[in-house]
Amino acid sequence: MKHPVFGAASILSQTHSDPHMGVNPSISDSSTFYFDRAKDMSDTFIGETEGMYLYSRHSSPTNNALASSLAAMEGTQDACVFGSGMGAISAVLFQLCAAGDHIVSSQTIYGGSYALLKNFMPKFGINSSFVDPTNLDSVSQAIGPKTKVLYCETMSNPLLEITQLKAMSELAEKHNLTLVVDNTFSPLMVAPAKHGAHIVIHSLTKFINGTSDAIAGAVCASKAFCESLKSVMDGAGMLFGSTLDAQRAANILKNMKTLPIRLAKHSENALHIAGGLVNAGYRVSYPGLDSHPGKKILEQQLEAGFGYGGLMTLDAQTPEKANTLMEYMQQEGLGYLAVSLGFYKTLFSASASSTSSEISADDQQAMGLSKGLIRFSIGLDHEPENSLQKILLGLKTLAV
């Protein structure tokens, strides 16, 4: 696969043609499409006509416009969009695996992805081994004759560990596996396909949309794989039916165009706040800090201009202290005690009891997820110093 242009440049340089000369593509408002010639309909069913639409669960002009922008961003041949990030993830994994197949997955992944792999897919004879993605020996040892897929996140949730994508792709190559990378935490910052990922997944719900008003997902991959997801005969995208609504797709596409400037500001604010907390002696994890074990690895795969991302964690030691601090921060208007990420306001939640609660207490402990860990998605505040001072005051007065 070639990646001539990708990233921010390709998002903003894209233009489109519109029958009404609108600067935004027209929103397609149809679930079904008519044909002048009956033969075109039957050809479209077997996937043999370019530029013709059949039924919007399969594809629609607006969803395709969003998909094409995502493919350009990730530097992949093609992309397709879904009604949620989990819709994208489940479609991809069920498309790639059959009963008896095995997946090697990072242990520190999104709670929903973990629950899918650990609790749901085994019902269909698809089992997974969970490994520490920063320990390549353990990844390698988990690969067996039945393994089909290597699954990880560029930047893990919530521990913000950094995956060595190049090394993972070499392992995938050696064992003939498909490397699937969830890049939700680091759009534009890292282009996993450039480092050998075969399939890149996004929850568009987060940074890419950025307004916390929609749920959506995407798969960026080869044309052949995207076509296979859409197959009316055996495509998991088509048959599971987690379709994105065209109105939503249109909104997400417009929001996506400001991702480059938003992400740079999220990163700038996060670095400021994380740095200030560390200087004051608190236990903070942020990939842009020298103390972060993955900083060097991230820098090897980082695209310039977007910083180190908008996510950081603060260890408040106990769940009680974490809760007190979060309630204080919300009362002070610093942001919202809410899950999710990529919003213009800062969002914070205690991962162990929320977005990672699908992971058992024992497994959480094994992976180093402290019960008092607060995950922050730092917002777009004009003056991050004010937020920093508020957090510091809260930590001091609450003796966290």
Ligand X SMILES: *Cc1c(COP(=O)(O)O)cnc(C)c1O
Report in angstroms the alpha-carbon separations of 254 from 248, 267, 322: 10, 21, 36
Which residue, 153 or 161, is less far from ligand X as judged by CB? 153
215 binding ligand X? (CB under 6 A): yes
DSSP secondary structure letter of residue 114: H
Which residue, 61 or 112, is less far from ligand X as judged by CB? 112
Which residue, 84 or 95, is less far from ligand X as judged by CB? 84
* Residue from the set 157, 212, 228, 346 that interacts with ligand X by CB under 6 A: 157
Q: Please choose, out of 3-11, 45-53, 78-86, 306-314, the segment that lies near ligand X by the rule CB under 6 A.
A: 78-86
84 binding ligand X? (CB under 6 A): yes
DSSP secondary structure letter of residue 48: -
For 167, the 3-state DSSP assignment is: helix
Which residue type is seen at 198?
H
184 binding ligand X? (CB under 6 A): yes
Which residue, 352 or 395, is less far from ligand X as judged by CB? 352
Cα separation, 44 vs 65, in Å, equals 19
Which residue, 110 or 376, is less far from ligand X as judged by CB? 110
285 binding ligand X? (CB under 6 A): no
Alpha carbon 36 to chain centroid, angstroms: 40
Nearest residue to the partner ligand X, using Cβ: 85
98: Cα within 13 Å, side-chain hemisphere: 2
191: Cα within 13 Å, side-chain hemisphere: 22
Cα separation, 212 vs 198, in Å, equals 28
- Tokens coding 108: 């520190």
Does the bond joining 19 to the residue before it have cis omega, within 30 degrees of 0? no
Cα separation, 300 vs 339, in Å, equals 30
* Residue from the set 85, 237, 260, 310 that interacts with ligand X by CB under 6 A: 85
Which residue, 215 or 314, is less far from ligand X as judged by CB? 215
153 binding ligand X? (CB under 6 A): yes
- Contacts (Cβ under 8 Å, ≥6 apart) of 45: 54, 232
Give yes or no for a contact between 289 and 340, defined as CB atoms under 8 angstroms apart: no
Which residue, 206 or 230, is less far from ligand X as judged by CB? 206
Q: Please choose, out of 105-113, 134-142, 219-227, 360-368, the segment that lies near ligand X by the rule CB under 6 A.
A: 105-113
Q: Please choose, out of 47-55, 79-87, 162-170, 190-198, the segment that lies near ligand X by the rule CB under 6 A.
A: 79-87
102 binding ligand X? (CB under 6 A): no
Site for ligand X in 108-147 (CB under 6 A): 110, 112-113
Which residue, 76 or 184, is less far from ligand X as judged by CB? 184
* Residue from the set 133, 210, 217, 379 that interacts with ligand X by CB under 6 A: 217
47 binding ligand X? (CB under 6 A): no
Cα separation, 85 vs 384, in Å, equals 30
* Residue from the set 203, 209, 228, 351 that interacts with ligand X by CB under 6 A: 203
> In terms of DSSP H, where are the helices of 75-118?
85-96, 111-115
The nearest distance, CB 29 to ligand X, in angstroms, is: 24
Give yes or no for a contact between 316 and 20, defined as CB atoms under 8 angstroms apart: no
Residue 202 bridge partners (DSSP): 218
Q: How many residues bind ligand X (CB under 6 A)?
A: 16
Q: Which residues bind ligand X (CB under 6 A)?
A: 84-86, 110, 112-113, 153, 157, 182, 184-185, 203, 205-206, 215, 217
